Amino acid sequence: MFYRTFSNSQVRRNAFTLIELLVVIAIIAILVALLLPAVQQAREAARRTQCKNNLKQLAIAAHNYHDTHGTFPLQAGTSLYGYSAQAQLLPFHEQGNLYNLIDFRQPLTVGVAFNPRVNPAIADVAGRVLPILLCPSESGDPYWTDAFGFRWAGGNYLLNGGSGEGLKYCSTSNTDGLFYRGSNIRMRDITDGTSNTVFMAEGLFGNRIASATALVNPQRQMKRVSLGAPCSATSDQMLAANATGWDGRRASSWISATGYQTLVQGYLTPNSRNPDIIHHGDIVSGPRSLHTGGIQLSMCDGSVRFVSENINATLFRNIFSRDDGNVTGEF
């Protein structure tokens, strides 16, 4: 009987050596390192597209609201803690059932003015996060828990509160934007043109710390200032003033008409290194996002644009004003 035998050298030739294995692993690691940025960029592109779609849908909802009521959605009247225009838009982006749960004759908050708590009759709605109001690129917490333990739900898309120049940040008066307390702006009031005027822009959630003594992240904290009565100091004075504290409640309640909750101005350019400024519930601010290089916003004609962080500051304020006479065109 014939038996075939194999030498040790033949056996070794049919296996990987340790060096060969390490080389293969190194090559795979290099390929993964090269591909990972591309995968991350593709994911961010998808998130940015979804964010753009959200802004588009909200702008279309505003047009449908205007067709029905003859004005843009109404921001709250005299109350600092009234209902936002966002709440008025609900039935126009397939949230009619949620809208029907709100009795707008009821106050949004109860208790003392300087420390209000949510009206129990509205709590279920005020605590709901709405996907259409969230940018997928946002990594912050959409909830803010108040002193009474209630978790308010916020949103990333903020309404045009004006250029923010001078006293035009003040939500108690007729600003040059679209939304302020008691606003009922119509298409005909946008004399600069709907394609030249912002409807809504992105904002980042605050860090959810209501009161802090140190600035940790200017993108997620607001500078508190103390400059007398509401609407008595200009935005330039507020920018130059020393901080009395730092507030992380930005964009923490989509249902509330309080300025720092649902409004944004064009005073600060996108993703400014200067933090937003809060004074008696009003805000002097600019849009913010986690998109590389800028932010997205929707215009009053329903279009959505990406705006670079390097946009000229004067031009940026112009597109937040509905009637300053400066027709910007492309930017």
Q: Strand pairing of 157-160 and 263-264?
A: parallel
- CA dist., res. 278 & res. 155, Å (int): 18
Does residue 97 register a pLDDT over 90? yes
Q: How far is CA 34 from CA 24, 30, 31, in A?
A: 15, 6, 5
Residue 208 backbone class (left: φ over 0; alpha: ψ -120 to 50; beta: rest)? left
Write out pLDDT tens, residues 249-306: 999 999 999 999 999 999 999 999 999 999 988 999 999 999 999 999 999 999 999 9
- Predicted pLDDT of residue 206: 96
300 - beta bridge partners?
Answer: none
- Predicted pLDDT of residue 293: 94
More confident residue, 247 or 326: 247
Write out pLDDT tens, residues 115-132: 889 999 999 999 999 999
Does residue 53 register a pLDDT over 70? yes
Whether residue 22 lies inside any domain: the answer is no
- Predicted pLDDT of residue 330: 66
Whether residue 326 lies inside any domain: the answer is no
Work out the pLDDT band at 33, boundaries 50, 70, 90.
confident
**Span 63-86, average pLDDT:** 86
Whether residue 37 lies inside any domain: the answer is no
Whether residue 136 lies inside any domain: the answer is yes
Instruction: Tell me which residue range forms the domain holding 261.
Output: 42-320
- Predicted pLDDT of residue 115: 82
- Predicted pLDDT of residue 80: 60
Whether residue 327 lies inside any domain: the answer is no
Whether residue 303 lies inside any domain: the answer is yes
Q: How far is CA 290 from CA 56, 202, 296, in A?
A: 19, 10, 10
- Predicted pLDDT of residue 4: 54
Write out pLDDT tens, residues 153-196: 999 999 999 999 999 999 888 799 999 988 889 999 999 999 99
Minimal CA–CA distance to 260: which of 84, 11, 126, 68? 84
Does residue 2 register a pLDDT over 70? no
**DSSP at 277:** E
Work out the pLDDT band at 318, boundaries 50, 70, 90.
very high
Whether residue 330 lies inside any domain: the answer is no
Whether residue 137 lies inside any domain: the answer is yes
User: For the chain, how many structural domains are there in total?
Assistant: 1
**DSSP at 212:** B
